[in-house]
Structures are given as structure tokens and as C-alpha cells.
Structure 1
């Protein structure tokens, strides 16, 4: 009997909506209560990850909570904890609790559960639009002076490669202070936007969910990147992943095939290049004395939404990530996100387990 990855059979893709809207679509489960929802479509399990992509749980929890809040309220903060790895072959149930409904602020909690156990939990706060009054204190960090990516000309190879893929496309924007000996001085930059056009029907809530989805992308990996530590360093592990990248149509592993379909061509090419370089070094014995990541997984994730109605997630957003601290087997990353016109729209923090491969086994396990 085939496994059911959604509670109900997924409906056809709605082509009047952007791919991210289809990915994050929720279905109410009225038999379990008025504020219970489930994923309408299967969720992505990235290659090498312990479970589903965390951004999906973040975004769908936000989407579920927003369905219980009046439209004149917008989320301003979201604090999340990853409890257990989500299984992409089991439906998720999102249980929303209406903690408080005030005149200016509303509080919600959401638990994402599989097999009755919580895999993810979050507390969200919403504020009424304009409740701050006419006089307010205002300041924001300006967006760095960077040029927006140029779209390829129609019909070119690059344009054809950008068709399809995952719900988002991204472009590298370099690393500030790349050659600094101090990891805390480095800043990793990217541009990202949703593919397609987010529908008017989705409203500003669809753009917020899309933004929440992308905040988990590359985030905790910032810690290893500023230390120039490759994510995959084992020759056997690299050989397996390289084979998958070179021959995606010949794979029998359903999970990897599904994940590869979500990777856009630019990301796959970049991953192939980095993996091949790391494999060459590992094979030649150059990395024997270097550090290697043994485990990297997110623990908690916070988003502060500054201007929830002042951006479009289907336009280029500029992201800058840095890591002010790492130690005790953990690392902290900070992320700032600006809209295409330079408005600071969100600030995020994330802490995760960053364990290096040891000569001796660790004292504790998660």
C-alpha cells in the first residue's frame, strides 16, 4: 500500500497562482477543530537534510495563524523552535491556539504535529495597522549599495534554465570581507524572489508566507560558510551526491529525485562545482587536518517583520547574513532582508547545532 504524504489527495496545480502559493497551500481539517489545517501538497526534503525543509513549516504555520486573524492585523514577530525532523512522507497537522485577542495586538501559537507529536512550534504576534499613532519613532538600516540582478534576454540559454525549478530563484551577491581572518567580519549576500506572479487573491498574506518560507534558506549554513568549512567533506558522501547531480534521471532514490526537482539549475551547477572541488581535495588527502561538518541542524528561528505590506516577494529581495558567534557546538546567524526599493522588511535570527566531525564520539546526542 503506497504511503500517503498528504491527508487528502492533492488538487491540480492552480496556474493562476505563483508556485510558492501552491507549495504553501493549506486545507482546513474541520473534523478535528475550527483551527486545524494540513499541508495540501507534499513537502520538500532537501538532499542531505534530516527532514523536510524548515521554511515550509515556518511559512505554513504563519499561513495557518493568519487565517485566524482579522485582515487589519499583520504579523510583526514570529518565534519558532524546531523540535523534531519532519517526515516528508507523513501529513502535517497545524493546530492554532488563539492565545489572546486585544485591540492593538493579537497572539497565536501554532503546533505542527506528525503522528500526534509536535515537530515544530511557534508563537506569533500581530499588530493592528496604524495602532502606533500618527507620531512614531522611525529608523532603519539602509540597504547596501548593490545592483539588482538583470533578467536574461528571452530565448537565451540562461532564460530557459530559469524556467521551472523550485518556487524561488536566487542569485549570489558575493561575500563581504571574504579574505578576513575573522569569521564574524564576513557577510554573505544573495538576491531572491518568488517565481511567477503572486496572485491578488493571496493578498499581502501570501507575500508574508513566501518571505517566511525563504528565511530558512542558506541561513544556518552561514556559520560554516564564514569559516570556509564545506558542508559535505566525506569522499564517499561526495561521490554519492555527485553521481546524483550528474545523473538525476537515472536515480532510483525517490527522495533525492524529488529534492533535485526543487533545485534550480544555477543552484545545482554551483553545488556540483563545490562538491567536485571538495572531493578532489578529500581524495588527495588535503583535508585530513581541516575541519569537517558532522552535523548542522536548526534549533530555533525568529523573524521580525518590519514592513509587512511594503514589499512583494515576487520582486527581488536582497539578503545579508552574518554570524556574530559560534561555540559549544552551536552557532548563531543574523539575517537582514530588504525589498527591491531598499525598504528593510525583516530581520531574522537563527541558532543551530554545528558539530564538527570528532576523533572521539561526542558526550551527548540530540
Structure 2
């Protein structure tokens, strides 16, 4: 297992400080605040720690309330809202310095058989034929606002292998494109032993789901994002539905699109498919997408 993946797994292995209270650290971020996917994944881990193992998350709904400080531990308090025969509901509040920074509600369900259908998986190139972050990012070094951005982005991609099926927004700033993005992703190493837990695979997908979701908003307007310096952005709310079993250490296709943006906000929705075409997860997020006044 790659050392950076081990570090990410350790980051998600929260310290229990009371029955329903947990504490987590943060890793250095490419921006001076806690990465939203990290706090969402840790909050879901906290909720999972209070739920029987036979019940997996089927949905989560969350709000990002304040920027998190990467240098300060985050305390997660879980409220046991309901334990029913089929469904379990948990509410989690993430706190730093006495202030809530994130709020999550998650619902869990025991497995049951039922009606099944799904949308077909869109066409996408074989992930093994696409460039890795190490191969792609240095090509665009001159597009970024600071030389250090490439190294910071590479560090953020070492635990998870992310490969773009089409050019990312920072590759073509100033050129509006179809507001749709596709990336393949998987962890940089296999999960085995006690780490091979279905809940952990779900929490890892939650972590990755916040990485590229707003790309589709940027593409519609020919913006390169914060890396290019033509947009200021942040996640506002984030919702996910987990439909079918999947593994985060096997290739997953993240197909995202943006139906609209307005009033300094952009809406993006995504679908995560397994490599054999099963729709595993649906995602919707609204984020702040502002053009700096100097532009």
C-alpha cells in the first residue's frame, strides 16, 4: 500500500473521545482551509461508528458552514436520531474552536431485495490509457498562479489515482466548453484485512466526490478555477445517494455535469459508475463560484 494512502486511511480512522464524540486531524491542503471532502468523509465515519455493521449508508445530506483550519483538530458529535427496523438515521456536527464548521445527516439501511433499474453508463476511454496526474499536471505548470501549485496538487493526488477522460478546466481557460467532465479514480493501493470494510469504501468515495465535481461549472464559462486565479470557489452543500456495492480501490467513473449557475453559485450533479457499468452513487452539490473583482 502506498504510504500516502495509508496516511489517508489513518486520517479517516477517528479517535473516539466519548461514546458518540470523535476527533480527527487534517492533512495539509492546497488551499488554506480543510478540504471539504475530508470533513464530509470523517463525519460519515463518525456516523458509521454508531451504527450496526449490517446497515450501510444509503444517503447523506450536508452543509459546509465555515472554513476549517487544517492546523486544528476537528471534533465530531453524533446524535442518534432514530434506530428503526430497516433504517437508521444519524446527525453529525463538526466543530472547531467552539464553532460548527459542517453539518451532516446520514441514513443507513439493512440490505433488502427490490425493483432495480438504472441509467446506462456513458462512454469513456479505458482508464489505463489516460495520463496520470504526474504525467499531466507538469504540462500546464505555466497556467497556474504559483509554481508550487503543481507540487501541491500532486501531493493531494498521491493517495487517489485520478485520471481525466477530457481536459480539466485549467487546461483551456478562456474557452467555454460543454459543462460536463469525466474522471476515473481509484485508491493508489488495494484495501485488505480489516481495512477492507464496505463502509470504508463508501467513506473514501465521499472523500473523492468533492475533488472534481465543480469542474463542470467552470467548463461552461471557460474558467480555469482557483489554480489559474480566475475563480474563487467553495462547497456550500453536498448530497450523495449510495445505490449499489462498489470498491474504492477499483476503477470508478465519475461523470459530472452542471445544469445551471447564477448569483455567484454553481450547481453540479454527478454519477459514479463501476467499471462494469453499474451506477453506484449519485451526487449533487452547490458551490460558491465567484469571479474576483479585479477581473
> Do the two structures share a fold, i.e. TM-score over 0.5?
yes
State the shift of 1:224 in Å. Answer: 1.4
Instruction: Return closer, same or farther for 1:115/1:187 CA change in 2, 3 Å cut-off.
Output: same
Counterpart residue number, 1:87: 69
Counterpart residue number, 1:26: 14
Counterpart residue number, 1:147: 125
4+ runs deviating over 6 angstroms: 161-164
- Higher alpha-carbon Rg: 1
Counterpart residue number, 1:118: 100
Instruction: Return closer, same or farther for 1:168/1:325 CA change in 2, 3 Å cut-off.
Output: same
Q: How do 1:1-366 and structure 2 match up within 5 A? A: 18-30=6-18, 34-39=19-24, 41-46=25-30, 49-130=31-112, 134=113, 136-150=114-128, 166-174=158-166, 185-202=178-195, 203-232=197-226, 292-293=230-231, 295-307=232-244, 310-358=245-293
Q: Distance in 1 between matches of 2:233 and 2:124?
A: 30
Q: Distance in 1 between matches of 2:268 and 2:275?
A: 23
Q: Can you give the 5+ residue segments of structure 1 that lack an aligned partner in the other structure? A: 1-12, 233-270, 279-291, 361-366
- Paired residue secondary structure (1:59): helix
1:229-260 per-residue CA deviation (whole Å, 9 max, x = no partner) reads 1224xxxxxxxxxxxxxxxxxxxxxxxxxxxx
Instruction: Return closer, same or farther for 1:211/1:325 CA change in 2, 3 Å cut-off.
Output: same
Structure with the larger strand share:
2
Q: Distance in 2 between matches of 1:108 and 1:192?
A: 28
TM-score (normalizing by structure 1): 0.67
- Paired residue secondary structure (1:138): coil
- The answer (yes or no) to whether the contact 1:20–1:194 under 8 Å persists in 2 is no
State the shift of 1:90 in Å. Answer: 0.5
- The answer (yes or no) to whether the contact 2:176–2:223 under 8 Å persists in 1 is no
Q: Can you give the 5+ residue segments of structure 2 that lack an aligned partner in the other structure? A: 139-153
